[in-house]
Amino acid sequence: MAGIALDQVSKKFGLVEVIRDLSLEILEGEFVVFLGPSGSGKTTLLRMIAGLESIDSGALMINGVRSEGLAPGQRNLAMVFQNYALYPHMTVAENMAFGLKNIGLPAGQIKARVAEAARMLEMEKLLARRPAELSGGQRQRVAIGRAIVKEPKAFLFDEPLSNLDAALRVRTRVELAELHQRLGSTMIYVTHDQTEAMTLADRIVILNNCRIEQVGTPIEVYTRPASRFVAGFVGSPSMNFLPVTLTGNGDRVAARLGDGAVVPLLSAPAGEGPWELGIRPEALTVVSEGLTRATATVVERLGDRTLVYAKLSDGTQVIAQDSGKSAVKAGDSISLGFDTSELHLFDGQGRAVLV
């Protein structure tokens, strides 16, 4: 296993800056997910750690050893790509053993490592098959097995589930979580899928615009987002954002919505507006008597809950939540209640201000 530390690393492609003065420490045995939209630099950062992209400035430490100048093979890291990159003419066993043969490992050790990886991934019956005889999920397991047999210091995953169908993604996601528990290895995983990040990660690193927006556990980034970007990117459906003006002072501060409704805040925020109030759909609920009224426009029935898309009198669009047996229909006038313990406030720079 290995701890990995990045200190003020930067990367440009020509004049385009991709990573800017980024610092991050990944603990030994930790499962860290790089999460962000397309173009945020998450795959480039992973490839910089792997040695597939150079680091323009800054330092990379792997297990306490300065490593940005080392060749990829000298870093003892195993990477699993989005595309399986299996040799079609080789069997599963041969694909998994290929890298070990190239470094001259004795045949007995190769056989033992392949057998152990196949046992872990429940692939013992597939070892004699070729990739064309496997499903997408099985091919991905072979790619993971090929990484396991190297006994690397850390595993690097670049969107490994994106080519799988929805049901298979769920099953493979569970398998990856179980694999991490069994191996206890350091794992870094790149995805744009927040569900993968929330369910797999010990910590999530949220990237945007060449830099880190926030680092935290899944619960931390969901319940206490550091910025409006994080609040909007993490969570499905997204957080509601309502333009507000602040009234009062001291312990009697409130946010006034565009339709005139007043939502009490728990404390006076620091910073400067314009202000936006953030509230997740599960904290904005359909009630018999609430703080404001809205008109339902679309109703999504999801079984255990109902999402109600609604419009306030000033035209602001919101998503509220009701019970699974909700009787609300499109066109209904509804009353909305705010859970004031679950409010977020963002200043004019998009920074979160705790209330």
Per-residue pLDDT of the chain (355 residues; tens, 9 = 90+): 579 999 999 999 999 999 999 999 999 999 999 999 988 999 999 999 999 999 999 999 999 999 999 999 899 999 988 787 889 999 999 999 998 998 889 999 999 999 988 888 888 999 999 999 998 888 888 988 898 898 888 999 998 888 777 887 888 888 889 889 988 899 999 999 999 999 999 999 999 988 999 999 999 999 999 999 999 999 999 999 999 999 887 677 899 999 999 998 877 777 787 999 999 999 999 999 999 999 999 999 999 999 999 999 999 999 999 999 999 999 999 999 999 999 999 999 999 987 5
Two tokens at 42? 């998450």
Q: Is the peptide bond before 264 cis (omega within 30 degrees of 0)?
A: no
CATH of 4-230, one of 1.10.8.60, 3.50.50.60, 3.90.550.10, 3.40.50.300: 3.40.50.300
Query: How many C-beta neighbours within 10 Å does residue 102 have?
Result: 9
- How far apart are the C-alpha atoms of 190 and 45, rounded to whole Å? 9
The distance from CA 149 to its chain's CA centroid, rounded to whole angstroms, is 27
Q: Which residues of the chain does CATH 2.40.50.140 include?
A: 237-353
Q: Cβ distance 243 to 258 under 8 Å? A: yes
**pTM (2 d.p.):** 0.89
Two tokens at 115? 């057998």
Q: Which residues of the chain does CATH 3.40.50.300 include?
A: 4-230
| Arch. (CATH architecture) of 237-353 | Beta Barrel (2.40)
